Amino acid sequence: MHVLVTGGAGYIGSHTCLELLDAGYTVSVVDNLCNSSRIALTRVEELCGKKINFIELDLLDMQGLSQVFSRHPDIGAVIHFAGLKAVGESVEQPLRYYQNNLIGTLNLCEAMAKHGVKHIVFSSSATVYGTPARLPIQEDFPTSATNPYGRSKLMIEEMLADLHISDQTWQVVLLRYFNPVGAHPSGRIGEDPKGIPNNLMPYITQVAAGRLKELNVFGNDYPTIDGTGVRDYLHVVDLAKGHVKALEYTQKRSGVFIYNLGTGQGSSVLEMVRAFMEANKIDIAYRISPRRPGDIAECYADASLALRELGWQTEYGLTDMCRHAWNWQKNNPEGYPPSA
């Protein structure tokens, strides 16, 4: 089957393209490269010895998007990663986030409907659970949002569910990721944040590389095992494989399918720092800083539904996540080289 991957040049998208190609799918990617590099896809092609049909395009370009489907009438499903994802930036620039994430998705769905493609896998996030009342988090927990990024995810989830109500032949899959980290074991593709990283793991690897002086641990007075924030970190390759499983399971089923993708295990910031130091035999300097506004104390998944229905569970552990993250950073200290 031919799968269109929006945002396929990005961190999770590039790893998913590799898994799709390895599983025998034909892959087209639409990406405007606003937060990624064309080189990621060249490296995916090198890793699996197969080609990707890359189209540099903004999802806001409705006409261009429609042409992609007319030119490739065999596209049978879409995995939709394309979106802006920085929480803090979304608070400062809400209109840009709504414009890009909502209108981009609206355009995509319109083009899909017009061309009779009704199978979509959407990148949602554990952020839609807001501050959970209990742990681990199950898919039927109440949802809420505290910032424009999270709200855009919730709105898109609802929009896609409405689409299925209006036409029950739509196959809608909402994947709620917990905290993806790490990189492909080859060290050829990985996370390449622009500027100072917002997220914990890329910050740690840049401290390890000497690009940043020390990690700021945001708060040590949370009601958690050691006072620091607890999250459910999962290896990006496991996450990528979850997309292939979700695509396969929903191939012949219509409905709205919601899955948590996580390990089911919470780890604190200090546990992550220790795991990184032990896995890589490198010291990470850190200091305790004030809490980051908007952070919650603890968040980890009940991922048993994905295991029951998709037959998916994570295979990599914390040591692999830390080793592979460092392997990527070490081999690509400045991220991907500038495109020629």
Q: In the complex with ligand UFG, which residue's Cβ is closer, 33 or 288?
A: 288
- 255 — phi, psi (to 5°)? 145, -175
CA atoms of 131 and 137, how far apart (whole Å): 10
State the nearest-atom distance from the C-beta of 150 to ligand UFG, in Å. 7
CA atoms of 119 and 3, how far apart (whole Å): 10
Q: In the complex with ligand NAD, which residue's Cβ is closer, 13 or 219?
A: 13
Q: In the complex with ligand UFG, which residue's Cβ is closer, 39 or 217?
A: 217
* Contacts with ligand UFG, residue ranges (CB under 6 A): 85, 87, 125-127, 177-179, 198-200, 203, 215-218, 229, 231, 269, 292, 295
Mask of contacts with ligand NAD, 288-327, x by CB under 6 A? ----------------------------------------
Under rule CB under 6 A, residue 263 binds ligand NAD: no
State the nearest-atom distance from the C-beta of 220 to ligand UFG, in Å. 9
- 198 — phi, psi (to 5°)? -85, -30
The CA dihedral of 48, 54, 60, 65, to the nearest 10 degrees, is: -110
Catalytic residue among 11, 25, 97, 149: 149
State the nearest-atom distance from the C-beta of 79 to ligand UFG, in Å. 17
Residue 9 partner contact from ligand UFG, ligand NAD, none using kind-dependent CB cut-offs of 5 to 8 Å: ligand NAD
**Residue 272: CA atoms inside 13 Å, Cβ hemisphere, count?**
28
Q: In the complex with ligand NAD, which residue's Cβ is closer, 25 or 81?
A: 81
CA atoms of 29 and 6, how far apart (whole Å): 6
CA atoms of 154 and 109, how far apart (whole Å): 16
Under rule CB under 6 A, residue 17 binds ligand NAD: no
Residue 12 partner contact from ligand UFG, ligand NAD, none using kind-dependent CB cut-offs of 5 to 8 Å: ligand NAD
11 tagged catalytic: no
Site for ligand NAD in 94-133 (CB under 6 A): 100, 104, 123, 125
Under rule CB under 6 A, residue 35 binds ligand NAD: yes
State the nearest-atom distance from the C-beta of 127 to ligand UFG, in Å. 3
CA atoms of 259 and 261, how far apart (whole Å): 6
State the nearest-atom distance from the C-beta of 13 to ligand UFG, in Å. 15
CA atoms of 63 and 86, how far apart (whole Å): 28
- Name the residue among 19, 234, 238 with its Cα closest to residue 3: 19
CA atoms of 204 and 183, how far apart (whole Å): 14
Under rule CB under 6 A, residue 139 binds ligand NAD: no
Q: In the complex with ligand NAD, which residue's Cβ is closer, 177 or 249?
A: 177
Residue 7 partner contact from ligand UFG, ligand NAD, none using kind-dependent CB cut-offs of 5 to 8 Å: ligand NAD
Under rule CB under 6 A, residue 229 binds ligand NAD: no
State the nearest-atom distance from the C-beta of 187 to ligand UFG, in Å. 21
Give the binding site for ligand NAD (CB under 6 A): 7, 9-13, 31-36, 58-60, 81-85, 100, 104, 123, 125, 177, 179-180
Residues with catalytic annotation?
Answer: 149
